[in-house]
């Protein structure tokens, strides 16, 4: 019988985090279990900084709230923590301190709400005897073994709304409007919002693009009397003969994805202006996609994820990720989620090599896009 559990929200924020917290807290309370939250992700676990969560006080009115009431961190790999010692940068394995903190607090299970990198650390803790249950969070929708992560639907809605608004400018000015959306190594947001927003082109990391093919599509539209076009570009998209565009190299420590992407939208807009003669403009949607109120779909999905996570804890099914597969709540072992990325402590984070779920070429979104004439740059 479990008596005390703790929640960790880690990595970039995503709409629905608070809804998951709420669902876990409510289910815990219904079943006489105490629920706590570590402050600022794995950083709070390391610093032994946690608060009691209570649906009557601090964990109330959460369903519609963006962000996370317990904070998050996306630069803390406790298995390989960047520290300064005598003026030098050193990397330390601080995981034992975290494990001691969990034991001392008496937590029977920790819920790790996060993406690929967070689940990798969760798996590493589970190998060391901690009971872990992961919940797949990311607007990028790229966590392995689950069909939909929470936060994704909201991001697609925000991007779709932006496309509707960009359409009016594109039509009025006879311009190419490029929208750069998030999606580091998977193009789910770009592709789905392109379909929802009636875009003409969608460039995704899974299909390195040929800019001449994109220009051909836009020129064909021009020849048919359409003097504007809408292009959605995933931040991780790259040309056939080029590489992803990095805005900034970070130095957050080993095992983390130390690059900030951004700039591909501008590059595409510039190239298309030259090749088509149409004026082009780029809009980078950025963090608007991650913030604010979750959609009704994400509120419900997050609630299902939270309830299932607590159910699994009560059944004693640990070291798993809660999943949503073929319309049903289920779970997969964290070991499978981590995939080939087995080494403890090393290479965690949402890196190009991690076990993320990319769009497969037979995915209905790809076939749908192709049938309705959305150019995918190939």
Q: Which residues are annotated as catalytic?
A: 140
Stretch that binds ligand F6P, among 18-26, 176-184, 309-317, 333-341 (CB under 6 A): 176-184
CB of 49 vs ligand F6P, minimal distance in Å: 21
Stretch that binds ligand F6P, among 134-142, 269-277, 341-349, 352-360 (CB under 6 A): 134-142
Q: Binding of ligand F6P at residue 350 (CB under 6 A)?
A: yes
CB of 357 vs ligand F6P, minimal distance in Å: 13
Position among 183, 187, 197, 253 found at the interface with ligand F6P (CB under 6 A): 183
Q: Binding of ligand F6P at residue 69 (CB under 6 A)?
A: no
Residues found in the chain: 378
Position among 10, 27, 74, 118 found at the interface with ligand F6P (CB under 6 A): 74
Q: Binding of ligand F6P at residue 138 (CB under 6 A)?
A: yes
Distances (CA, A) of 242 to 211, 218, 259, 265, 341: 11, 22, 17, 14, 26
Residue with smaller CB distance to ligand F6P, 43 or 217: 43
Q: Binding of ligand F6P at residue 12 (CB under 6 A)?
A: yes
Nearest residue to ligand F6P on Cβ basis: 182
Interface pattern 269-298 for ligand F6P (x via CB under 6 A)? ---------------------x--------
Stretch that binds ligand F6P, among 172-180, 182-190, 192-200, 316-324 (CB under 6 A): 182-190
HEC assignment per residue over the chain? CCCEEEEEECCCCCCCHHHHHHHHHHHHHHCCCEEEEECCHHHHHHHCCEEEECCCCCCCCCCCCCCCCCCCCCCCCCCCEEEEECCEEEEECCHHHHHHHHHHHCCCEEEEEECHHHHHHHHHHHHCCCCEEEEEECCCCCCCCCCCCECHHHHHHHHHHHHHHHHHHHHHHCEEEEEEECCCCCCHHHHHHHHHCCCCEEECCCCCECHHHHHHHHHHHHHCCCCCEEEEEECCCCECCCCCCEEEECCCCCCCCCEEECCHHHHHHHHHHHHHCCEEEEEECHHHHCCCCCCHHHHHHHHHHHHHHHHHHHHCCCCEEEEEECCEEEEEEHHHHHCCCCCCCCCCCCCCCCCCCCCCCCCHHHHHHHHCCCECCC
Q: Binding of ligand F6P at residue 248 (CB under 6 A)?
A: no
Residue with smaller CB distance to ligand F6P, 280 or 355: 355
CB of 132 vs ligand F6P, minimal distance in Å: 20
Question: How far apart, in whole angstroms, are the C-alpha atoms of residue 1 and residue 177?
Answer: 57
Q: Binding of ligand F6P at residue 136 (CB under 6 A)?
A: no
Quick check: 58 and 341 in contact, CB under 8 A? no
In DSSP terms, 7 is beta-bridged to 37, 111
Q: Binding of ligand F6P at residue 72 (CB under 6 A)?
A: no
CB of 149 vs ligand F6P, minimal distance in Å: 10
Residue with smaller CB distance to ligand F6P, 138 or 157: 138
Position among 139, 204, 218, 332 found at the interface with ligand F6P (CB under 6 A): 139
Stretch that binds ligand F6P, among 35-43, 88-96, 137-145, 304-312 (CB under 6 A): 137-145
Position among 124, 140, 180, 206 found at the interface with ligand F6P (CB under 6 A): 140
CB of 61 vs ligand F6P, minimal distance in Å: 25
Q: What residues line the site for ligand F6P (CB under 6 A)? A: 12, 74, 115, 138-140, 182-184, 235, 260-261, 290, 350
């Amino acid at each position: 019988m479990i008596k005390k559990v703790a929640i960790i929200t880690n990595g970039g924020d995503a709409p629905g985090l608070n809804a998951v917290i709420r669902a876990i807290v409510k289910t815990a309370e219904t079943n006489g279990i105490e629920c706590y939250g570590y402050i600022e992700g794995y950083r709070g676990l390391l610093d032994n900084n946690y608060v009691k969560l209570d649906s009557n006080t601090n964990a109330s009115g959460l369903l519609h709230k963006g962000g996370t009431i317990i904070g998050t961190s996306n630069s803390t790999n406790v298995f390989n923590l960047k520290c300064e010692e005598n003026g030098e940068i050193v990397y330390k394995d601080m995981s034992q301190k975290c494990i001691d903190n969990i034991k001392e607090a008496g937590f029977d299970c920790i819920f790790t709400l996060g993406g690929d990198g967070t689940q990798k650390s969760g798996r590493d803790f589970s190998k060391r005897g901690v009971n872990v249950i992961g919940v797949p969070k990311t607007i990028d929708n790229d966590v392995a073994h689950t069909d939909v992560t929470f936060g994704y639907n909201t991001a697609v809605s925000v991007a779709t709304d932006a496309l509707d608004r960009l359409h009016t400018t594109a039509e009025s000015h006879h311009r190419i409007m490029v929208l750069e959306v998030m999606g580091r190594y998977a193009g789910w947001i770009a592709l789905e919002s392109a379909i929802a927003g009636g875009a003409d082109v969608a460039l995704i990391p899974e299909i390195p693009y040929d800019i001449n093919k994109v220009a051909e599509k836009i020129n064909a539209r021009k020849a048919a009397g359409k003097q504007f076009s809408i292009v959605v570009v995933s931040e991780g998209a790259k040309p056939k003969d080029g590489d992803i565009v990095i805005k900034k190299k970070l130095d957050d420590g080993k095992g983390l994805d130390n690059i900030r992407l951004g700039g591909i939208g501008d590059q595409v807009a510039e190239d298309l202006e030259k090749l088509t003669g149409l004026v082009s403009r780029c809009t980078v949607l950025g963090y608007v996609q991650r913030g604010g109120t979750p959609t009704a779909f994400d509120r419900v999905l997050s609630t299902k994820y939270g309830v299932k996570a607590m159910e699994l804890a009560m059944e004693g099914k640990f070291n798993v990720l809660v999943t949503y597969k073929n319309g049903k709540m289920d779970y997969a072992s964290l070991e499978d989620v981590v995939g080939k990325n087995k080494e403890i402590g090393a290479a965690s984070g949402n890196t190009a090599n991690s076990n993320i779920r990319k769009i497969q070429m037979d995915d209905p979104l790809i076939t749908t896009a192709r049938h309705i004439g959305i150019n995918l740059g190939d």
